[in-house]
Structure 1
């Protein structure tokens, strides 16, 4: 097996963590339409059921840093795969035990912990093994896997839903949707035992020979020797073996910048559209119940196609240009949706606005944020810094998922001024903030090694 094939295989296996991220967070979209009727949930309880997994994601992201430091990226991902499988099976158990929203929420939280651990470790692992000239593309495989997960789960929920009557879907169809996740989660768990440990984690642990062996398999002998020396120099330069001071001005500055970018990814409104797409299509856009799941497939397909666009342009155009292009598109998309809602002229332009927003997010903030988070933090603080940034992202995700249905159903939003458009204009404000943050504080990391990026922060002290 040549170096390139080996790299692609281990990247593909690791990216399955992203597929399960997408699948697990996407399955609630199709399922919640029916389980909400099954349990007769109001807006607040619907937000709790959907958002409960995000609390698990927050916990998972918080513990992911210490777990990753102690056990490594590989075993952290194995742990996440086990949690995915338990969650997928357990979410259907209300049909066996006395029916309870609390039991469903418990297993959703378990799955959320798995997502939180995987969402930090998978892109970080890929960034740590990938050559600098294609690192953006390699990390984008993770985002591609997320949207493939969304697309596959929308297909799964569509076919499960269409194979049953509405009464059957409300009674038990939504449980089958959750159980369908067992297939990818078990596959992920098995394949992880065949991937190597992260060479940078091994170097941090002082296992230089083992790290070099893996780097040779990935990059070849000449480049591997150069890279192991850069890693060792970087670790030596990081306070020369002294314990990292996480409260130093430079470290706090890097973490704050990365965390803010991570949070703003959620405040674009992407997961409000993805989690509550069924409700948006039915209530805001006026589609019939029979069209809801089909519209979700269209949404997921657009997301998938434009993630491919990002994959093949992120190392060519750079990270920052893609964010600027995507921000313009997201604003245009939400303006089309918001204005048509406000003017009560909902129709094809409204749907076009949603699709433009999804396409623009998919080629910018979706993949680029994960690329930047996986590469912008110095070696010695990467695990902890990324854990903080990803935990904050999940906290923001929870805030959006909890507040969106409440804002949508509020009297202010449904009054004569906004006519259901208020959330989308709020999201536009945050997208503008993203442009400002990117311009002023985010470094362009295209084509630079992780150690070269670390030098950028040292120069900016």
Structure 2
């Protein structure tokens, strides 16, 4: 098999972790109404069932650093695939299991653990196998897989629910929605046994023969020699340095920069739009209940198309230019939505604002954050540092998810001045902070090897 083909195949397999990230996150949106009716959930319990997976995501991201360093990036992904599969099976509560909300939550948390591990391990694995001139576009495969998963799960839950009556959906339709995830999760688990271990991890574990063999399969012999030399030189230099002090000014500074950048991705408001899209369309934009699902599919489709654009431009234009362009688009999009809400002139401009925001995020902060996190940290701290940054992102996701409805339904937001627009102006403020932070602290990493990037921080 040609190295280029082999590289594309193993990238696609590892990116399935992103697909399951999107699928598992989205499946609860289609199932929650029916299972809420089945279990007669009050609003507090409904929020707990939906949000419980985020606890698993946070714990999974924290533990992924240790797992990926101790057992390797590949084995970490295998663990995540097993968790996805168990969660998908158990969330449907097979007939021989006692039916209870607590048991459902337990399986949702297991799925969250899988998401947390995959969200750290998959982009890092891709970055460590990719040549420098293709690394940006290949890591973007991961974000592309997330939005494909999110898009397809909307279609899957729509068609499952559409072909059943309301009573049937309440009785067992929601189970089928969860079980539909068994197909991609089982495929992910099987295919992972055919991908190689990360060559950089093998070198770190002092297994250079295996590492070089993998590099040859991925890059061909000539490029493999160059990559192997850079990796070995980096490891030799690091072994001469004292034991890593994560609280030293240099190391702590790198981790803080990566962590803040990761958190800012969530403070754009992306998951407020994705999680509460139906509420935004129904309450803020005046769409009827029958139109909400179609609008959600439209959001997912726009997300998908513009992620493709990012994929083909991130290595051409660089990481920072995409962030700047995307942030301007996000500001304009939310400004359109905010102004039309304030002026009580909700209509086509409001919808354009939401779609412009989604498109701008999809071509900038969506993929670029994963690209930068996977490549900006030095080899010897990559696992731990990325684990911290991704865990902080999940914590930020939780904060936005919890406080968006609070701010959105507050008396201040509903007064005659704001008319429901306040949350979007808050998000605009954070997006402006992203522009400033990127300009001041984020290096351009285009076309640089992972070892060359260490010199930037030094």
After TM superposition, the score normalised by the length of structure 1 is: 0.96
Q: 2:422: which partner in 1?
A: 422
What is the aligned partner in structure 1 of residue 19 from structure 2?
Answer: 19
Question: 1:361 maps to which residue?
Answer: 361
Q: CA RMSD in A?
A: 1.6
Write out per-residue CA displacement over residues 30-71 of structure 1, whole angstroms, 9 at most, x where no aligned residue: 223444454455554443322211110000000000011110
Distance in 1 (CA, whole Å) between partners of 2:381 and 2:436 is 26
Asked if the contact 1:44/1:402 (under 8 Å) is kept, the reply is: no
The equivalent of 2:78 in structure 1 is 78
Pairing 1:56–2:24 present = no
1:11 and 1:426, CA in 2 relative to 1: closer, same or farther beyond 3 A? same
1:229 aligns with: 229
> Is the 1:126–1:139 contact (alpha carbons within 8 Å) kept by the matching residues of 2?
yes
- Over 3 Å counting, the alpha-carbon distance change for 1:395 and 1:95 in structure 2 is farther
What residue in structure 1 maps to residue 248 of structure 2? 248
Tell me the equivalent position of 2:315. Answer: 315
State the partner residue of 1:301. 301
Alignment of 1:118-129 (within 5 A): 118-129=118-129
The reply to whether residue 282 of structure 1 matches residue 282 of structure 2 is yes
Unaligned runs of 5+ residues in structure 2 are: none
Counterpart secondary structure, 2:17: helix
Per the alignment, residue 377 of structure 2 pairs with 377
Report SS of the residue matched to 1:287. Answer: coil
Aligned positions of 1:47-446 closer than 5 A: 47-93=47-93, 99-238=99-238, 240=240, 242-446=242-446
- The 10-residue stretch of structure 1 (441-450 or 337-346) with the greater mean CA deviation from structure 2: 337-346
- CA 98–213 in structure 1, closer or farther in 2 if over 3 Å, else same: closer
Alignment partners' CA distance in 1, 2:336 and 2:21: 29
State how far apart, in whole Å, the 1-side matches of 2:125 and 2:112 are: 20
Question: 1:171-220 CA distances to partner (integer Å, 9 max, x unpaired)?
Answer: 43223211111110000000000000000000000001110000011111
Determine helix, strand or coil for the equivalent of 1:132.
coil
Residue 297 of structure 1, CA deviation: 1.1
| Deviations, residues 210-259 of structure 1 (Å, cap 9, x unaligned) | 10000011111111111111111111222516421111111000000000
Cα deviation digits, residues 94-118 of structure 1 (max 9, x gap) = 8765553332222111100000000
In the TM superposition, residue 266 of structure 1 has moved relative to its aligned partner by 0.6
Q: Distance in 2 between matches of 1:350 and 1:100?
A: 41
1:412-439 CA-to-partner distances (Å, cap 9, x unmatched) read 3223232222221111111111111100
What is the total number of aligned residue pairs between the two structures? 458
Contact 1:43-1:406 at 8 Å conserved across structures? no
**Residues in 2 aligned to 1:128 and 1:95: alpha-carbon distance in whole angstroms:** 43
Query: Are 1:25 and 1:275, in contact at CA under 8 Å, matched by a contact in 2?
Result: no
Evaluate the alpha carbon distance shift between residue 403 and residue 170 of structure 1 in structure 2; reply closer, same or farther with a 3 A threshold.
Answer: farther
Instruction: Confirm or deny: 8 A CA contact 1:30 1:293 kept in the other structure.
Output: no
CA distance in 2, matches of 1:267, 1:158: 29
2: CA distance between counterparts of 1:339 and 1:95? 51
1:89-143 deviations in Å (ceiling 9; x for gaps)? 1111187655533322221111000000000000000000000001000000010
What is the TM-score with the length of structure 2 in the denominator?
0.96
Distance 1:38 1:306 in 2: 38
